[in-house]
A and B are shown apart, each in its own frame.
Chain A
């Protein structure tokens, strides 16, 4: 609504107050004043209340020792007596990221598989996919999580009766235990070889692309890359005389010790989140593929492209443009939904920082502000990344 008021002739009754520009400025000043008054009012109340109740505010509590144990600790050295609340925050962040990242990967796979199955010509496969989607989407995630944790994972056999796969993999109601890789000296080089392999593949792909542009010859990039990424570390490992060994889990005392253990809390959260979000992604994928006009398939067919290549090079790239924006918001939902961890005892940021730390210190405002800031910044970074990706694959109109 841009009406140029100055060009209109002013009648006798028109005062400066009827000028839309003036009114806009006036209204905005009013809004600012009201907004500031509101912030001041709330802030003042909080300050008065805190002072009256003798609650100290500030972020000093972050450097106080936490003093409580945490169930799942990854990457960080945690000791209840020495570690501080900021370590708790860090562990919460890492645990949230761990479950969100693996959840996003699993949910995407699940979503794409079921999205394609949903479009299958096979009636029964199609219907099974539909039943999965319609059931899962219409039941609250919290109910599903509790179901997985309390009704499915907890009826697995007890520790002493674990399901045993050749003494390496154990499944019981305390989770899944499997051998871990313990690095010895020189293991760094194997890791380096892995990254070098990845780097090499990127260059290989670029070279192959250029060569195809130039000569039209194709190069089996995928298989070669797979060979390089897997082969290089193996070769490096043999050259260095296998600088690692496996550590097997073993039943000691109450539980399995050693090796890697996926706790039931983590598993329940991961399964619940991926199945729930997967159903939404499946619908998005279906809608995206449906949005690509059938003429594209026919055109590709008339060029003689086989159906696999048609899907990969013709349909999916176009469908992705429709899929990416809603997919982004599903990823964000998954991240935010991971906060339901608190209901099933997984030590994510909401459970241990906005839960235990808040209780032990009583610093409600600071703790919740930090938690919200974390989710907000992670959400913003995911959407920025996906926006960038979306722009990259967007239709380039010439």
Chain B
């Protein structure tokens, strides 16, 4: 007569308080009294913020119409943004010529996609297209020549100008930054000193002062009769500024490459430039891509500063709209719109950089 139970007791489900929705709530929101208080306060704050934001920008907002009279004033007046949408996107670029900008966008998007995605086996062709042919096409398209109507850079503006500023600056800053980073790690004291001096000087001062310098002092440094366009001056300032930051990013990448790589390259008989170009830089740049993207995000946000030297970037065009007599009193809409535009771009890029980081680090992940 055995009182030992031979068959297995059926498994009991875990207590309801530990699983499912309730369990999750207990664990994540109400684990102790402090947490519970925090949760309630947080929910209240979040609710307040969300509800007022949604009612301001959607429920009570006005989307339809053509003038300020179409806005009820209870929420955001998006009619304002819509009515001036062309100007916000292209500045004073002549309406009949805006297709040129759009073609530039499309070509750029295609080029970027081909370079960044894995659809093409060899990235040589798309890279040549994006970094050599595309800039030339854009220059011809945007400023006009070969029969296209000339559009002065003073007519460029809006998001278009912001994108031009950001992409040209990064295009110039990256190679310049690589050169500076190599110079900073050079064994020749003179080269090193000049590079360190430049990098630290530029990184130690605000972008505004660099832009002031470019817009006020550059003309004085040029020989008589040589003038730069206002846009070119801003581009020079922004490129030099971001080159210094880029140099530090690339230097970080270079430092991460073990010394053995260089020694191995030397023992194969490769010279300095060969080993740099074929062995070190490809590895260093690859690991610094996420940091480069982050620098680019910073650069993209910094383009708003050109409004201080009088260029009509996205921020200043939208802001100029708020001083239009027919659309007075809509500053909040303007800033929210600009903020949202920048947010979409920057957040997208930062997600991309995180994704890239994970992708590139697969080899080392434990």
Residues of A at the B interface (CB closer than 8 Å) are 1-3, 24, 27-28, 31-32, 35, 42, 45-46, 48-50, 52, 120-125, 128, 134-135, 137-144, 146-147, 150-151, 332, 336-340, 342-343, 350, 354, 358, 364-365, 368, 371-372, 375-376, 379-380
Contact = CB atoms under 8 A, between A and B. Distances in A.
B11 interface: no
A134 B347 contact: yes
Contact of A123 (B28, B191, B220, B339): B28
Contact of B224 (A2, A52, A375): A52
B324 to A, nearest CB: 15
B55 interface: no
Interface in B277-335: 297, 301-305, 307-308, 315, 319, 331-332, 335
A142 B223 CA distance: 34
Interface string B17-53: 0000000000111010001001100110110000000
B46 A142 contact: no
B46 A368 contact: no
Contacts of A343: 307-308
A143 B342 CA distance: 9
Contact of B305 (A46, A340, A364): A340
Given A124-B39, A350-B208, A376-B205, A143 B194 contact: no
Contacts of A364: 216-217, 220
A130 to B, nearest CB: 12
Nearest to B315: A143
A122 B342 contact: no
13 contacts: A1-B266, A35-B194, A121-B28, A128-B42, A128-B46, A138-B297, A138-B301, A139-B343, A139-B346, A147-B332, A151-B332, A350-B208, A379-B204
A179 B56 CA distance: 37
Nearest to A379: B204
Interface residues of B, number: 59
B188 A342 contact: no
Given A49-B220, A371-B205, A380-B204, 20 more contacts: A27-B188, A28-B189, A28-B191, A122-B39, A123-B28, A125-B38, A137-B346, A138-B343, A139-B346, A140-B315, A140-B342, A143-B339, A144-B339, A146-B331, A146-B335, A332-B203, A350-B208, A368-B212, A375-B204, A379-B203
B54 interface: no
B249 to A, nearest CB: 12
Contacts of B221: 42, 45-46, 49
Given A24-B187, A46-B221, A372 B205 contact: yes
A147 B42 CA distance: 24
Contacts of A134: 347
Contacts, number: 160
Nearest to A380: B204
A122 B29 contact: yes
B42 A122 contact: yes
B207 interface: yes
B268 to A, nearest CB: 13
B213 to A, nearest CB: 5
Contacts of A49: 219-222, 224
A371 B347 CA distance: 34
Contacts of B189: 28
B307 A142 contact: yes
A368 to B, nearest CB: 5
B206 A350 contact: yes
B167 interface: no
Interface in B34-89: 35, 38-39, 42-43, 45-46
Most chain B beta carbons < 10 A, residue from A2, A138, A342, A354: A138
B262 interface: yes
Contacts of A376: 201, 204-205
A75 B224 CA distance: 45
A340 B302 CA distance: 11
B272 interface: yes
A35 to B, nearest CB: 6
Interface string B223-234: 110000000000
Q: Considering the complex of A and B, which 6 residue pairs feature the smallest CB-CB distances, nearest first?
A: A138-B346, A123-B28, A336-B206, A339-B206, A379-B204, A140-B301
A380 B187 CA distance: 24
Contacts of A124: 28-29, 39, 42-43, 46
> Taking each of B262, B305, B336, which has the highest tally of chain A beta carbons within 10 Å of its own beta carbon?
B305
Among A32, A52, A125, max chain B CB count under 10 A is at A125
Contacts of B194: 31, 35
Nearest to A350: B208
A332 B204 CA distance: 8
Given A151-B335, A372-B205, A139 B188 contact: no
A12 B339 CA distance: 68
A143 B335 contact: yes
A135 to B, nearest CB: 7
B209 interface: yes
Contacts of A144: 339
B28 A146 contact: no
A134 B303 CA distance: 19
Nearest to B189: A28
Contacts of B190: 28, 31-32
Nearest to A377: B204
A2 B263 CA distance: 10
Contact of B315 (A142, A336, A372, A375): A142
Nearest to B190: A28
Contacts of B151: none
B85 to A, nearest CB: 18
B209 A350 contact: yes
Contacts of A339: 206, 208-209
Interface string B163-189: 000000000000000000000000111
Contacts of A35: 194
Contacts of A379: 203-205
A364 B222 CA distance: 15
Nearest to A365: B217
Nearest to B297: A138
Contacts of B29: 122-124
Given A124-B29, A128-B42, A140 B304 contact: yes
A332 B244 CA distance: 15
A302 B27 CA distance: 23
Interface centre among A137, A358, A380 (most CB of B within 10 A): A137
B305 A150 contact: no
Contacts of A48: 223-224
Given A27-B188, A138-B343, A142-B305, A365 B205 contact: no
